[in-house]
Amino acid sequence: MTSSSRTLVKLVALLGLGVASLSASAVELRGFRGVMWGDDVAKLGKSELAYTDGDVACYKRERENLLFGDSPLQEVRYCFHRNRLFMVALDTEVDQQTLSGEFQSSYGPPDAREASTVTWGSQLTASRVDVVSPPAGGHALMLIYSNRVEPGLGVAALGFATAAGRR
């Protein structure tokens, strides 16, 4: 092997390691608590309808673990578009900083921070997580949604989740 061939092989290996390290921190959740993106509502088991808006329906399980890490939750809603899971909304009893810390301990630092939203993932990852602080402060809302199942709905997810939480 010539010296230039070895250099090329080393550069390709280094590039591969760089790409792998970037994707290692990506949020690639396949669903939430045993319900996978794209599953139908029957996968929830006993549940009740919490909110509807056109083709979107959000349900609450009859029995749900109301903790996320050590943070207490008020409610967990599984949202379906045309009977396919595309988003999970967690209403919490903690502020954005506490909830973000819980998520960060497992998934590393966020990919973006804005005034009221901390985000893991992007439109290019399989899933995305937004931890949203209400304008008046108070309890945070966590949205976990798929970018592959109903990808256009991720943008509208905050509207569905906040409206559903006000019922």
> What's the pLDDT tens digit per position in 38-66?
999 999 999 999 988 888 899 999 899 99
- Domain assignment present for 20: no
- Domain assignment present for 55: yes
pLDDT for 75 equals 92
> Residue 123: which CATH number?
3.40.1000
Q: Which domain holds residue 129?
A: 27-165
What is the rounded average pLDDT for all residues in the chain?
76
This prediction's pTM: 0.75
- Per-residue pLDDT band at 74 (split at 50, 70, 90): very high
Please write down the HEC assignment for all residues of the chain: CCHHHHHHHHHHHHHHHHHHHHHHCCCCCCEECCEECCCCHHHHCCEEEEEEECCEEEEEECCCCCEECCEEEEEEEEEEECCEEEEEEEEECCCHHHHHHHHHHHHCCCCEECCCEEEECCCCCCEEEEEECCCCCCCCEEEEEECCCCCCHHHHHHHHHHHHHCC
> What's the pLDDT tens digit per position in 113-159?
887 888 888 777 777 888 888 766 678 898 888 877 766 665 555 55
- Domain assignment present for 22: no
